[in-house]
Structure 1
Amino acid sequence: MALAKIIWVDDEIESLQSQKMFLENKGYEVKTFTNGFDAIDYVKENAIDVVLIDESMPGITGLETLAKIKEIRQSLPVVLITKNETENLMDEAIGSQITDYLIKPVNPNQVWLSLKKIIDNRRLVAEKTTTAYQQEFRNLFMALNSSPDYNEWMEVYKKLVYWELEMQKSDSPEMQEVLQSQKSEANTEFFKFISKNYAGWIGNKTGHAPVMSHSLLQFKVLPHLEPGKPLFFVLIDNLRFDQWRAIQPIFAESFRILEEDTFYSILPTATQYARNAIFAGMLPMEIEKKFPQYWKNDDDEGGKNLHEEDLLRAHLKRLGKGDLKVSYTKVLNNQAGLDLVNNMHNLLTNDLNVIVYNFVDMLSHARTEMEVLKELAGDEMSYRSLTASWFEHSPLHQALKKIAEKNVRVVVGTDHGSVRVKTPYKVIGDKQTTTNLRYKHGRNLNYEPKEVLAFRDPKEAGLPVPNINSSYIFAKEDSFLCYPNNYNHYVNYYRNTFQHGGVSLEEMIVPVIKMESK
């Protein structure tokens, strides 16, 4: 095994053969390229440990190559090699998050020079991040105001998440505030976009609809089935795109990430609706009609997601894949997670293994733990960090590491995301009205129309009609729906908690990630 995989990009690579041999004798694997474009393509498809880049190359410079590489793999260490010793270029390079900076002709003693840059690293990265976001701010602003379609919305949201994570490196509270207000402006526009288009997607009147929960398996999971290569579909409950980004580096240690994609969760962005739709390949209204024995409405007694496996098998049969060898595992607690670790090797004989991991249930739904969670995850940054430390030490991580050496493909997805709620809205309803904070359905709902997305006819949203005259309402942006009785108590109890069920970028645009063993 090589100590590390290195790629060296230099248009005069021939003159560096002795350096390459020197590194190879030290136990490194070194692959060389004469231009940045080939290197960028290679990084997309391969796991690399370090990149060495010559700054002045024809076609695309070292710094331009560096920027593209960082877009693909944010945490990949890059060493810039240059003949140019100007301080300006050094600062630019460190601000672009290089790990090291060497002057040509390269000689081992020059590594000492990197100390200065390492000491300055944090400050320069923070400054560069702030300036780069200031430049990007206008682009995002223009994108928001040019009526984005559903694909462009996914890109806008990914960019906002990218900058939110970048901003963690910046110590500028002002810029973080600007980003937060841009994000909330994006959610305001997104709510209008969904209000206008959602019923059309559901009725498929236009023929243009994004991949949503009920089409996820067909278009984003099953196409990756390959004879002799087990496919694992891991559904992590309630995983937002920024939380995925927080655990991505942990996955990247064991797997080669091939594609970071997103899809739209159906409404309500709640487990019993979105997850049943994923496995059934149908909208909730169709599930209720075709499988009345499996469907339960919010106010019915008993578990609402007890028949995912039955729905999945019926779905595969409909798609002509009924003869696949399939396993279905649901992990609701730590013991079930440990059982999964021990059973992983047995799953390698199947074509498709579905693993549903209820991580957020373990984290956030129990009332008694609510206060603890509010303390631990008071904001997005701590929520991400909690997710990363949970995943790193979880049985799921252990289980996946067990198959990382085998020839497998993995698709990681989720059912919906969540949003931190801050703004209470009053809703009045009768006794049958549901208790969820981000959506409600009932017969005599009384609400302020501009504060919610309402469907007087649930069928327009692809939803069952629990009672005659039932309508559904969905909370927008960062709001939560409260009843007038005991209003202040509930407002204070739930404000700043992470909830789901409504319309926001965080709840609806969620990750589906394709990876394979290295």
Structure 2
Amino acid sequence: MQQYSILWADDEIDLLKPHILFLEKKGYQVTPVNSGSDALEECEANYYDVVFLDENMPGMSGLETLTQIKSAWPNLPVVMITKSEEEHIMEEAIGAKISDYLIKPLNPNQILLSVKKILDNKRLITEKTNLGYQQDFRNISMAYNEHMDYEEWAEVYKKLIYWELEIDATDNKSMSEVLEMQKDEANSNFVKFIKDNYEDWLNEPNIDKPLLSHQIMKEKVFPYIEEGDPLFFIVIDNLRFDQWKILEPIISEYFTVEDESSYFSILPTTTAYARNAIFSGLLPLEMSKRHPNLWVGEDQEGGKNNNEFEFLKEQLKRNRLNIKASYNKITQVQQGRNLVDNFNNLMSNDLNVIVYNFVDMLSHARTDLEMIRELAPDESAYRSITKSWFMHSPLIETLRKISEKGGRVILTTDHGTIRVRHPFKIIGDRNTNTNLRYKQGKNLGFEERDVYVSRKPELLHLPKVNISTAYVFATEDRFFAYPNNYNYYVNYYKGTFQHGGISLEEVIIPIISLNSKNG
């Protein structure tokens, strides 16, 4: 064990000799001093891992000493010790960023616990996390050998995310490679599951199946609409389950998480298909047939998501919901600020839909900009950037205002993303779409292994431009690359976050019901 050094300042230090001997027997090196000024001199002369300070010392008090220590050595952990239980003393000490607060008479194990919490915290957490994951590793792997249903797949994915975040928070991340391999194995099995079941989910009315994109408003949003009580439906595009778990502690300051569940994105897992399905309540083929004036196909020019509010109005009409609804799409920071400034206007609506495109913009910027590429080289960094954006975005301001007004929020996304690492050669003509995770076109050339192919798109409820149109979906962490300029293409896109294909990260996505803590 690493030997840690402790500085202990107390005007009655001789009476604490038994505690000092106890710590020394446990392997800690303790330097005793009688006053705050001596403590400051020691800090000047020597390095200490933690300082114990008696609050009630003659001359320079513990709180005064604490202020000077924190001014000179802001990262040095300090434990305040006092006979007093007065609230103002505790508040001053906490305000000065103490690491712990102990009240006399002291108990040896109480002191040891405080020291371990401060000095051995990371090591102990790492050891405990690694042991916990090792014990769960077999359970997760065994699950793949069973005939898992969609609910079990969602649970396995959430368990993998739990361990990913736990390991990411440890010091040496020694188990991250093992977890990465297990996630790859999970994705390989999940692809087989989707291939075996997806078509049936769309065409067999009486089988057990997950909630899909086109069903979430009817099942998860409309039941919460109440007259005079505004409901906010917020869609942050590209938000994976692990990113939600990173944002959850921030959001939980203002809201109670009433329900955390998941649904499955339709294929292709892209904004043009999945998000239009959310707002229309229809699958893409039905959208193209019922609303040809609103549906923008692969062969047509223009943005694919410009008619979301119109689709929503049609869905409300179909469900006989004669309500007042608003729709705001935020693609720039200024639009988000304008929404915050005009927030009170939203309170007279029954349903307020807010689409935040920033995470989508971030993931595409990750492809295009070298700086973002450097900032987000892996999942951990990608989560960190998402958290940083969220904490400084107008969206957190919007959520605060909703909470202040006692509002309810349904928070979700349209699909997730996966970091692509393995290129897959495909040949297509100039009319083939550009997405790296799915291709739609005629006369596509590729090896059938390791992709999901639909030569009858109508069975997946997807429109086709030509009689011979096929859809090909990339699986796991593959991405499509054309043979010409192959090396340039691969080097440019490898390691970027993409969507449109089949993976746990893209398909199984969060839908969260939030209740204001002010409600």
Moved more, 247-256 or 187-196: 247-256
Q: Which runs of 5+ in 1 are unaligned?
A: 1-98
* Structure 1 residue 114 displacement after superposition: 1.7
Name the structure 2 match of 1:320. Answer: 320
Name the structure 2 match of 1:364. Answer: 363
Aligned CA distance change for structure 1 residues 182 and 105 (closer, same or farther; 3 Å): farther
Find the aligned partners of 2:284 and 2:449 in 1 and give their Cα distance.
26
The answer on whether the counterparts of 1:234 and 1:356 sit within 8 Å (CA) in structure 2 is yes
The answer on whether the counterparts of 1:405 and 1:517 sit within 8 Å (CA) in structure 2 is yes
* Structure 1 residue 224 displacement after superposition: 2.0
Aligned CA distance change for structure 1 residues 101 and 440 (closer, same or farther; 3 Å): farther
Amino acid at match of 2:155: E
The 3-state SS of whatever aligns with 1:253 is: coil
Find the aligned partners of 1:286 and 1:404 in 2 and give their Cα distance.
37
The answer on whether the counterparts of 2:367 and 2:373 sit within 8 Å (CA) in structure 1 is no
Aligned CA distance change for structure 1 residues 367 and 182 (closer, same or farther; 3 Å): closer
Name the structure 2 match of 1:15. Answer: none
Task: Count residues in correspondence.
Answer: 419
Find the aligned partners of 1:280 and 1:291 in 2 and give their Cα distance.
10
Amino acid at match of 1:373: I
* Structure 1 residue 206 displacement after superposition: 4.3
Find the aligned partners of 1:279 and 1:516 in 2 and give their Cα distance.
23
Aligned CA distance change for structure 1 residues 103 and 258 (closer, same or farther; 3 Å): farther
Name the structure 1 match of 2:208. Answer: 208
The 3-state SS of whatever aligns with 1:354 is: strand
Amino acid at match of 2:327: Y
Name the structure 2 match of 1:411. Answer: 410
* Structure 1 residue 204 displacement after superposition: 2.7
Find the aligned partners of 1:199 and 1:368 in 2 and give their Cα distance.
32
* Structure 1 residue 103 displacement after superposition: 12
Moved more, 394-403 or 435-444: 394-403
The answer on whether the counterparts of 1:298 and 1:434 sit within 8 Å (CA) in structure 2 is yes
CA shift digits 1:93-151 (9 cap, x unpaired): xxxxxx989999999x9579523322211110010000000001111111122121011
Alignment of 1:91-170 (within 5 A): 114-170=114-170
The answer on whether the counterparts of 1:258 and 1:514 sit within 8 Å (CA) in structure 2 is yes
Alignment of 1:410-429 (within 5 A): 410-429=409-428
Name the structure 2 match of 1:329. Answer: 328
Find the aligned partners of 1:455 and 1:188 in 2 and give their Cα distance.
19
The answer on whether the counterparts of 1:229 and 1:407 sit within 8 Å (CA) in structure 2 is no
CA shift digits 1:69-94 (9 cap, x unpaired): xxxxxxxxxxxxxxxxxxxxxxxxxx
Runs of 4+ in 1 over 6 A off after TM superposition: 99-107
The 3-state SS of whatever aligns with 1:412 is: strand
The answer on whether the counterparts of 1:187 and 1:477 sit within 8 Å (CA) in structure 2 is yes
* Structure 1 residue 489 displacement after superposition: 0.5
Say if 2:428 is the partner of 1:457.
Answer: no
* Structure 1 residue 504 displacement after superposition: 0.2
Say if 2:175 is the partner of 1:175.
Answer: yes
Amino acid at match of 1:333: Q
Amino acid at match of 1:140: I
The answer on whether the counterparts of 2:453 and 2:473 sit within 8 Å (CA) in structure 1 is yes
Alignment of 1:431-510 (within 5 A): 431-510=430-509
The answer on whether the counterparts of 2:167 and 2:173 sit within 8 Å (CA) in structure 1 is no
The 3-state SS of whatever aligns with 2:355 is: strand
* Structure 1 residue 199 displacement after superposition: 0.5
The answer on whether the counterparts of 1:103 and 1:110 sit within 8 Å (CA) in structure 2 is no
The answer on whether the counterparts of 1:102 and 1:113 sit within 8 Å (CA) in structure 2 is no
Name the structure 2 match of 1:303. Answer: 303
Alignment of 1:15-414 (within 5 A): 114-321=114-321, 323-366=322-365, 369-414=368-413
Find the aligned partners of 2:144 and 2:452 in 1 and give their Cα distance.
20
The answer on whether the counterparts of 1:283 and 1:463 sit within 8 Å (CA) in structure 2 is yes
Amino acid at match of 2:444: L
* Structure 1 residue 363 displacement after superposition: 1.3
CA shift digits 1:136-193 (9 cap, x unpaired): 1111111122121011111110000000000012344441111110000000000000
Find the aligned partners of 1:435 and 1:455 in 2 and give their Cα distance.
18
Aligned CA distance change for structure 1 residues 369 and 324 (closer, same or farther; 3 Å): same
- Structure 2 length as normaliser, TM-score? 0.77
Find the aligned partners of 2:504 and 2:214 in 1 and give their Cα distance.
18
Find the aligned partners of 1:255 and 1:343 in 2 and give their Cα distance.
22
Find the aligned partners of 2:113 and 2:261 in 1 and give their Cα distance.
40
Q: Which runs of 5+ in 2 are unaligned?
A: 1-98
Amino acid at match of 2:454: F
* Structure 1 residue 229 displacement after superposition: 2.3
Aligned CA distance change for structure 1 residues 136 and 104 (closer, same or farther; 3 Å): farther
Find the aligned partners of 2:259 and 2:285 in 1 and give their Cα distance.
32
The answer on whether the counterparts of 2:366 and 2:497 sit within 8 Å (CA) in structure 1 is no
The answer on whether the counterparts of 1:235 and 1:413 sit within 8 Å (CA) in structure 2 is yes
The answer on whether the counterparts of 1:100 and 1:117 sit within 8 Å (CA) in structure 2 is no
- Structure 1 length as normaliser, TM-score? 0.78
* Structure 1 residue 517 displacement after superposition: 0.6
* Structure 1 residue 227 displacement after superposition: 3.6
Aligned CA distance change for structure 1 residues 263 and 239 (closer, same or farther; 3 Å): same
Aligned Cα RMSD in Å? 2.2
